Structure 1
Amino acid sequence: MLLALTGSSCSGKTTLAFSVSDRLERLAVHDFDEVGVPEGADRRWRQRMTEMWVRRALKYQDRGVDLLLTGQSPLGEVLAAPSAPLMDGIAVCLVDVSDEVRRSRLTTRDAGRWDAPAVDAFLGWAAWHREHARDPRHRPDVVVDDSWPPMAWHRWTGWTADDQRWRTHLLDTTDRLVAESADQVEQWVTQQRDALRAGRLTLSRGWSDLTVA
């Protein structure tokens, strides 16, 4: 299955993912950007690469291995990736942090790299992620407009927040020790795997064919 840790920059996604890599069996851990980020990378690039990672997850799936992927692709982009319905299961966790902490991390981790408008853009992207996680009807244009043509947005753009398939787990790392947040990620991965095996995972194979009243 594909387990995605998503969210805006500096929430701790990659640190947490690699912190649990040795704790869980048959789990591959990758960072979305490890293949390189070209100059001027935009939403079309992100969506195209999301499909690439879904295809890599399918290769792992064929070997009985799950993929824990860290990146910034929200649930809507993952579900719209052309190959997404071929996954046995999909689960997404939004790793978030307060604006104050994110701003501090952006200005200290990459000192001088981001000017004030760039930092504000990261904060705005984080705010959008939060609302998108709650309701698929919140500003879908942010990912849908001028998107990569193969994306299948129709799979979810008619859903509401009450649709059981629209589920993003929230992990807020504000004021948490890394070890504590890593424990939460490990627990979340285990729960999603158990739900898939028990037939309770709402985004198990066939999710895109269902009609929910």
Structure 2
Amino acid sequence: MLFKLTGSSCSGKTTLAYAAADRLRKIAVHDFDEMSVPEDADRRWRQRMTEMWLHRALEYQERGIDLLFTGQSPLGEVLAAPSAPLLDGIAVCLVDVADEIRRTRLANRDPGRWDTQAVDAFLGWAEWHRKHALDPRHRPHVIVDDGWPEMAWHRWTGWNADDPRWCTQLLDTTHRPVPDSVDQVEQWITEQRRVHRAGRLALSQGWAS
């Protein structure tokens, strides 16, 4: 199945993914940005690349291996990607951090690269992620408008917040030591695997029917 760690930049997604995967069997880890990101990357590019990574997940699936995938594509983009219904299971976790810590991390990671407007955009994207994770009706146009034409938005745009398929685990790393956050990711994956084996995973095959 596909395990997706999502969220805006500098929340710690990649660090947590690789550390948690070291404790688990039959799981591969990939980061969205492993392949070069063009300077003109936009939402259409992100959505096309999300579909490409889902193809990779399907290749792993044929070998009996799960994919733990990090990147900024939210639940709505994952579910709308053309190949999403072919996965035998999908689970998404939003890795989040307080705005001021994100500001500091952005400045330390890329000194001088981001001006105030760019940093504010990262923070706004993080706020949208938080609300999107809770309710599919929260400003869907942010990802839908001018999106990649192959995306199947109709799969979820009619859902309400209480639809069991609209489920994103929330992990706030703000005041949590990294080892504790790694524990949380490991426990989340283990639990989602258990629920899937028991036939109770909401986003198992058939969810889009």
TM-score by length of 2: 0.99
Q: Deviations over 1:142-166 (max 9, x none)?
A: 0000000000000000000010100
Residue of structure 2 equivalent to 1:81: 81
Q: How do 1:1-213 and structure 2 match up within 5 A?
A: 1-209=1-209
Q: What's the secondary structure of 1:189's corresponding residue?
A: helix
Q: Offset at 1:81?
A: 0.2
Give the whole-Å Cα distance in 2 for the aligned partners of 1:114 and 1:193.
Answer: 39
**Equivalent position SS for 2:21:** coil
| Shift in Å, 1:92 | 0.2
CA-to-partner distance for each residue in 1:43-95, whole Å, 9 max, x for gaps?
00000000000110000000000000000000000000000000000000000
Aligned equivalents of 1:109 and 1:39: distance in 2? 18
- What amino acid does structure 1 have at the position aligned with 2:139? R
Deviation (angstroms), 1:97: 0.3
Query: Residue by residue, what CA displacement relative to the aligned partner does 1:131-182 show, whole Å, maximum 9, x if unpaired?
Result: 0000000000000000000000000000000101000000000011111100
Distance 1:125 1:203 in 2: 25
**Equivalent residue of 1:95, what SS?**
strand
CA deviations on 1:91-138 (whole Å, 9 max, x unpaired) are 000000001111111111111010000000000000000000000000
Runs of 4+ off more than 3 Å: none
Shift of 1:184: 0.4
Task: Note the aligned Cα RMSD (angstroms).
Answer: 0.5
SS of residue paired to 1:78: helix
Equivalent position SS for 1:192: helix
Distance 2:92 2:11 in 1: 15
**Alpha-carbon distance in 2 for matches of 1:22, 1:9:** 23
Share of identical aligned residues, percent?
75
Ranges in structure 2 where 5+ consecutive residues have no aligned partner: none
Question: Partners of 1:89 and 1:103 in 2: how far apart?
Answer: 34
Any unmatched runs of 5+ in structure 1?
A: none
